[in-house]
């Protein structure tokens, strides 16, 4: 009987401990949820959905789900701990990043193969040539510049990071298709390889400011014979160097982790290009820029837009779109009043190499078949 009583008492204590743990865990979850909902970012996301229409349509619930998935106070700490374990113990960057050597990181998206890439590249090459001819007939020069993958410019730091056969041949395959279609392009890859030294950031997907300025100069040199008014007057200023964790560290959940527990961040001296001050009166209507930049996230990094304006010696309207892939910026621009009301003399389309073999969207196909 004594044994049975002891067993029963032990069972009650275990049940009580489990109940207390469950209550504590629920309380912890409630605290995390309330704290997340009270944050500035969460309040900004929730504010437009705090009405009956949004509630019935499910937008309020969707906003709360997003906050619970991304804005919990301990979320960044837990993700960071996971990133440290994955990189420090297994040498892995996770599903979106590949770890090279000497602190170099690469985006998985540019290393992997894509199904149907050959057909997508052929369609895009033919479409770019078609657009180039159509724009020329309207008095606009389209300059095509293929931004090569980081792994193509700096393969020496891959050090075993897997690179698919499709990715190895993609640039040569696509430029050959462009040439056969009759599209005129600016040669970017060979000068980048000949330049030597680091032209991309170690912990970021994008080029550094030296690489961006070099490409801007190549485009300006190709456009030197275009008869355009070039007022000049652009100047650049450089800030002191500072450590900047790149987007690949963010994808590895290591952007907020102390340096000993992650690859060291890049040290960047950011450059800013300043446009000349307008000379007209306050009420004068400014002329539309004679040039337009359509590009990927590369065109909004490394001061590429500023370097391009300074190299061309003329204002350039920047319609580049980070995350827009191959044609996101072009789709937005050619649907805008800027295109309809004041077509430019020059369009620079910075084409993302890793996007040329990805699936072609319906909207992109319509654009490549003919100008709106």
At residue 12, the pLDDT reads: 66
Is the full-model pTM beyond 0.85? no
What is the reported pLDDT for 88? Answer: 86
Write down the domain spans for the chain.
2-73, 105-369
- Tens-digit pLDDT profile for residues 156-205: 999 999 999 999 999 999 999 999 999 999 999 999 999 999 999 999 99
* Contact of 329 with 295, CB cutoff 8 Å: yes
As a whole number of angstroms, the distance between CA 62 and CA 332 comes to 26
Question: Whole-angstrom Cα distance, residue 187 to residue 87?
Answer: 37
- Contact at 8 Å (CB) between 229 and 273? no
The pLDDT of residue 301: 96
Question: What is the C-alpha to C-alpha distance for residues 118 and 116, in angstroms, rounded to an integer?
Answer: 6
Q: pLDDT digit of tens for each residue in the chain (372 aa)?
A: 554 555 455 556 655 655 664 555 455 445 445 655 666 766 766 677 777 766 766 677 776 766 555 555 545 666 677 888 899 888 999 999 999 999 999 999 999 999 999 999 999 999 999 999 999 999 999 999 999 999 999 999 999 999 999 999 999 999 999 999 999 999 999 999 999 999 999 999 999 999 999 999 999 999 999 988 899 999 999 999 999 999 999 999 999 898 889 999 999 999 999 988 765 554 455 578 999 999 999 999 999 999 999 999 999 999 999 999 999 999 999 999 999 999 999 999 999 999 999 999 999 999 999 876
Specify the residue for token string 């060291």: 264
CA dist., res. 119 & res. 122, Å (int)? 5
SS3 of residue 141 by DSSP: strand
- 161/105 Cα distance (integer angstroms): 9
pLDDT tens digits, 325-343: 999 999 999 999 999 999 9
3-state helix, strand, coil in the chain (%, to 5): 50, 10, 35
Q: Half-sphere exposure of residue 154, counting CA atoms within 13 Å on the CB side? A: 25
Task: Yes or no: say if 294 and 143 are a contact pair by the CB < 8 Å rule.
Answer: no
For the record, the structure tokens of 219 come out as 């485009």
pLDDT score recorded for residue 288 = 81
Phi/psi at 207 (nearest 5 deg)? Answer: -70, 160
């Amino acid at each position: 009987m004594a044994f049975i009583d002891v067993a029963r008492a032990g069972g009650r204590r275990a049940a009580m401990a489990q109940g207390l743990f469950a209550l504590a865990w629920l309380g912890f979850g409630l605290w995390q949820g309330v704290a997340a909902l009270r944050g500035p970012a969460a309040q900004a996301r929730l504010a437009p959905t705090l009405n009956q229409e949004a509630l019935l349509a499910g937008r309020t619930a969707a906003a709360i789900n997003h906050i619970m998935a991304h804005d919990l106070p301990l979320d960044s700490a837990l993700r960071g701990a996971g990133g440290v374990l994955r990189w420090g113990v297994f040498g892995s960057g996770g599903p979106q990043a590949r770890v090279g050597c000497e602190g170099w990181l690469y985006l998985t998206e540019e290393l992997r193969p894509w199904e149907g890439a050959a057909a997508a590249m052929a369609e895009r090459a033919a479409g770019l040539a078609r657009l180039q001819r159509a724009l020329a007939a309207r008095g606009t020069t389209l300059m095509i510049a293929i931004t090569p993958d980081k792994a193509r410019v700096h393969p020496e730091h891959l050090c075993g990071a897997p690179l698919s056969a499709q990715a190895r041949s993609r640039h040569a395959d696509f430029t050959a298709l462009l040439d056969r279609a009759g599209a005129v392009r600016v040669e970017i890859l060979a000068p980048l390889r000949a330049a030597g030294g680091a032209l991309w950031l170690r912990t970021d997907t994008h080029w550094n400011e030296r690489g961006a300025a070099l490409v801007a100069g190549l485009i300006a040199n190709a456009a030197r014979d275009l008869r355009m008014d070039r007022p000049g007057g652009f100047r650049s200023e450089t800030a002191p160097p500072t450590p900047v964790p790149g987007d690949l560290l963010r994808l590895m959940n290591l952007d907020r982790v102390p340096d000993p527990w992650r690859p060291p961040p890049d040290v960047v001296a950011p450059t800013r290009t300043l446009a000349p001050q307008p000379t007209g009166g306050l009420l004068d209507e400014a002329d539309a820029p004679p040039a337009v930049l359509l590009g990927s996230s590369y065109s909004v990094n490394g001061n590429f837009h500023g370097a391009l304006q300074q190299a061309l010696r003329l204002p350039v309207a920047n319609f580049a779109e980070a995350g827009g892939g191959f044609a996101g910026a072009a789709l937005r621009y050619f649907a805008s009043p800027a295109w309809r009301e004041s077509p430019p003399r020059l369009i620079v389309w910075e084409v993302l190499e890793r996007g040329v073999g990805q699936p072609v969207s319906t909207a992109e196909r319509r654009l490549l078949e003919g100008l709106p």
